[in-house]
Amino acid sequence: MLDAAIIGAGPIGLACAIEAQKRGKRAVIFEKGCLANSLYHYPTNMTFFSTPDLVEIGGLPFICRDMKPTRSEALEYYRRVKEFFQLDVRLYEAVQRIEGSDGVFDVQTAKGRYAAKKIIAAVGFFDRPRMMNVPGEDLEKVIHYYREPHPFAGQKILVAGSGNSAVIAALECHRRGAEVTCAVRSSSFHDGVKYWLLPDILNRIQCGEIQAYFNARVAEIKPKSVCLIDREDRRFEIDNDFVLAMTGYEPNFDFLESIGVQIGKDECRTPAHDPQTYETNRPGIYLAGVVVGGLRTNKWFIENSRDHAAAVFNHIESSS
């Protein structure tokens, strides 16, 4: 019998396992992909916006070369965290079903069955792209996970989106020789775009190096072109080789509902949970990390959700 089955081997899932270990409890992490699977899918040369001390977990120092860590440094750090604390992590073992009740859950995975007293879902949100739901989105030229600019050198690309990911992709591809067009649904880029990126993209647009259509959305994607539509419902078509759909990501709501977590009817589809203890509507099942915010994916980050682990186990111990 496990004291806790933790779903997701990202930073917060690891933090939960460390917290369990500190309190003398046995926890196993189940991860459908690789360790820190979401971070692995980040752009190859990405630099974190946070400083290393803010993404540390378990009190283990995060030492990096510069002021802010890179993706590769973060992956190395979380590998060391797993090894240092000798955490029991079952990689490539997706949780498929959870039956039973508080204190006696039956966890069924792709590789076996486990008994657990409590469940902690630290599943993140980066595994499911937010789809545009337009004809042609299933074409191979459409990419929801931008990794690096080199494949797009000399190509005509459309970047759909208004946030940091879209701006970074547009700038990097432009500087590698791509012909870049941006499609932004609103009248400007998102307010959350980092202050050092916004002047750069706006200057590239102003001088004509990057073409941008504001108040425009993708209406259809064709093998050699893309159709856009503006707020006056005027439709126009541009030549295109690739579409980078930087339209954001969302939690796996289907999975949450399958394990009995109610999804809110609000705009952000916030999963039901107690904001102090993070226990969901299903007793014994907890949320931790960015999944707590539902579609509000800019609310929770590693630095402000790593404390969820202590809050969860405080409640587990107080209610036992």
Which helix (H) or strand (E) is 238 found in, with range?
strand 235-239
Closest by CA position to 33, among listed 81, 95, 85, 99: 95
Burial call 37-50: b when 16+ CB within 10 Å, e when fewer: bbbebbbeebbbee
pLDDT tens-place string over residues 207-220: 999 999 999 999 99
Q: Which residue has the tokens 């904001």?
A: 275
Note the pTM of the prediction, 2 decimals: 0.90
pLDDT tens-place string over residues 275-314: 999 999 999 999 999 999 999 988 899 999 999 999 999 9
pLDDT tens-place string over residues 140-174: 999 999 999 999 999 999 999 999 999 999 999 99
Q: Which CATH class for the 2-128+249-318 domain?
A: alpha beta
pLDDT tens-place string over residues 219-268: 999 999 999 999 889 999 999 999 999 999 999 999 999 999 999 999 99
pLDDT tens-place string over residues 104-139: 999 999 999 999 999 999 998 887 899 999 999 999
Cβ–Cβ under 8 Å, residues 303 and 54: yes
Residue 185 burial class via C-beta count within 10 angstroms: exposed 0-12, middle 13-18, buried 19 and up: middle
CATH 3.50.50.60 for the 131-245 domain, yes or no: yes
The predicted structure's pLDDT at residue 49: 85
Does position 45 have pLDDT exceeding 90, yes or no?
no
Q: Please report, for residues 44, 55, 191, 269, the alpha-carbon distance to residue 126 in angstroms, rounded to integers and kept in the order given.
A: 15, 17, 21, 16
Cβ–Cβ under 8 Å, residues 220 and 136: yes
Rounded distance between C-alpha atoms, residue 173 and residue 243, angstroms: 12
Q: What average pLDDT does this structure show over 195-218?
A: 96
The predicted structure's pLDDT at residue 144: 95
Closest by CA position to 276, among listed 237, 319, 235, 239: 319
Instruction: Give the number of other Cβ atoms within 10 Å of residue 122's Cβ.
Output: 29
DSSP labels, 152-183: GTTSEEEEE-SSHHHHHHHHHHHHTT-EEEEE
Q: Where are the domains of the chain?
A: 2-128+249-318, 131-245
Share the mean pLDDT of the chain. Answer: 96
Rounded distance between C-alpha atoms, residue 62 and residue 74, angstroms: 8
